[in-house]
Structure 1
Amino acid sequence: MDLFARSWTALRAAVAGLRDEDFARPSGCAGWLVRDLVCHLVIDAQDVLITLVTPADAEPTHDAVTYWQVSDTPPTGDDPLDALIVRLAAAYEQPGLLEFHLDDVGSAAGRAAGLADRGRWVRTQDMVLTAGGYLSAYVLEWTLHHLDLIACLPDAPGPPAECLARVREMLETIAGTTFPASWSDTDALLIATGRRAPAGTERAELGASAGRIPLFLG
């Protein structure tokens, strides 16, 4: 099954399973509560809809991996756009309204992705990708944010195993190294993106590759 659909369906189902009090818990994103992350997902879904109807007349310049920009600076939540997300999320007041908006826009984004010609060229953020490449990039976005969503919700369902495995491959390509085989896919994603620090044994297993992570993606 298409990994975009798998990752997005699983993430939206995890949001639908939240209790009202869960929206006030911390997420795995610096400075954001769960409600802020869910609001960000609404914006992401809008971006998917916009990009899929923004054709390009030039050949692709990026793919699912090169779409991602790597920074040496970890996110703090102080970026103006991040701060805007927090204010937008608070404006919903009731978690049910935010959940409804995500389901409404998110369902449309999922349908649009299913109908998209994967070979068509689309433009976003001064990049040109095939629609398939763009949607594949979002497998990384959805999967990492699924982990962010459940960071303080240990009983919540996690991302699909095949999506975790694919994102691990993508991060290894971005980092230019292979993560230790002893690491689970979830641990590899969390450590590689700086969502948690490697333990002593994990750092030792990285060896010379330790300097290649964490990757702060944007």
Structure 2
Amino acid sequence: MEEFSRSWTALLAAVADLPDEAFNRPSGCAGWLVRDLVCHLVIDAQDVLITLATPTDAEPTRNAVTYWEVSGVPPTGDDPLDALTTRLAAAYGEPWLLKFHLDDVGSAAGRAARLADPDSRVGTRDQVLTVRDFLSAYVVEWTLHHLDLPDVDPPPAEGLARSREVLEEIAGSAFPASLPDADVLRIGTGRREPTAAERAELGDLAAGLPFVLG
């Protein structure tokens, strides 16, 4: 729960400090500008609010790791929902409007998370998770998207470490200890190609890359 709050607070602060010109730069998400990514974060914040307001007594069907649908194909931005995000982002016009909406909805999502019972259960994407697992999954989301922003301070170390643990569980193998958490996350999720030296360090693990989380 605390990791969620720290990761989300850091991400909101990073977006708030972005200069206007950064919104038209490419983000770490293929096919998206920074403005598109920020618009996606607004939608993510809405998802947190909706899910926390969707309680259920059903038994959990997923946890913080199995929550993720894993693909080997990085996004291109051409998916209909991705394309909708870019159109919606463009409709905002000015970066300050996006910043305002994210701060407004994002602050509400952060408050809702702090008030939620971590042991209660919620429904999302036709699955059931405890609130603790749902918010833990979003630590990975916040951390990856924080890494997608250009020229900002890094995400909290705890979020980086936790996200690496999740990725390693998904991969079924540990990444080389010599690789920093941020590099593991970018390479492991297809945000960049490993260098020749990194590929050599990865060994057999390189053949299974990337693990695209959706």
Match for residue 167 of structure 1? 163
SS at match of 1:73: coil
Deviation at 1:116, TM superposition (A): 0.3
Amino acid at match of 2:159: C
Structure 2 gaps, min length 5: none
SS at match of 1:129: strand
Answer yes or no: is the 8 Å Cα contact 2:73–2:210 preserved in 1: no
Q: Please give the alpha-carbon distance, in whole angstroms, between the structure 2 residues aligned to 1:88 and 1:20.
A: 17
Structure 1 gaps, min length 5: none
SS at match of 2:122: strand
Match for residue 197 of structure 1? 193
Match for residue 98 of structure 1? 98
Q: Please give the alpha-carbon distance, in whole angstroms, between the structure 1 residues aligned to 2:118 and 2:23.
A: 35
Match for residue 51 of structure 1? 51
Answer yes or no: is the 8 Å Cα contact 2:147–2:154 preserved in 1: yes
Deviation at 1:25, TM superposition (A): 0.7
1:182 counterpart = 2:189: no
Match for residue 80 of structure 2? 80
1:212 counterpart = 2:208: yes
Q: Please give the alpha-carbon distance, in whole angstroms, between the structure 2 residues aligned to 1:189 and 1:74.
A: 13
Q: Please give the alpha-carbon distance, in whole angstroms, between the structure 1 residues aligned to 2:75 and 2:161.
A: 24
Deviation at 1:214, TM superposition (A): 1.0
Match for residue 29 of structure 1? 29
For 1:112-137, what per-residue CA distance to the aligned partner results, in whole angstroms no more than 9, with x for missing partners?
00000000010000110001100000
Deviation at 1:206, TM superposition (A): 1.3
Amino acid at match of 2:170: I
Q: Please give the alpha-carbon distance, in whole angstroms, between the structure 2 residues aligned to 1:179 and 1:126.
A: 32
Deviation at 1:77, TM superposition (A): 0.3
Match for residue 18 of structure 2? 18
Identity of aligned residues (%): 71
SS at match of 2:128: strand
Deviation at 1:56, TM superposition (A): 1.6
TM-score with structure 2 length normalisation?
A: 0.98
Q: Please give the alpha-carbon distance, in whole angstroms, between the structure 1 residues aligned to 2:39 and 2:212.
A: 21
Q: Please give the alpha-carbon distance, in whole angstroms, between the structure 2 residues aligned to 1:90 and 1:209.
A: 39
TM-score with structure 1 length normalisation?
A: 0.96
Answer yes or no: is the 8 Å Cα contact 2:27–2:34 preserved in 1: yes
Answer yes or no: is the 8 Å Cα contact 2:164–2:181 preserved in 1: yes
Q: Please give the alpha-carbon distance, in whole angstroms, between the structure 2 residues aligned to 1:119 and 1:101.
A: 30
Q: Please give the alpha-carbon distance, in whole angstroms, between the structure 2 residues aligned to 1:204 and 1:20.
A: 40
SS at match of 2:129: strand
Amino acid at match of 1:94: E
Q: Please give the alpha-carbon distance, in whole angstroms, between the structure 2 residues aligned to 1:110 and 1:203.
A: 38
Answer yes or no: is the 8 Å Cα contact 2:72–2:209 preserved in 1: no
For 1:127-184, what per-residue CA distance to the aligned partner results, in whole angstroms no more than 9, with x for missing partners?
100011000000000000000112xx2xx21101111011001100010000001001
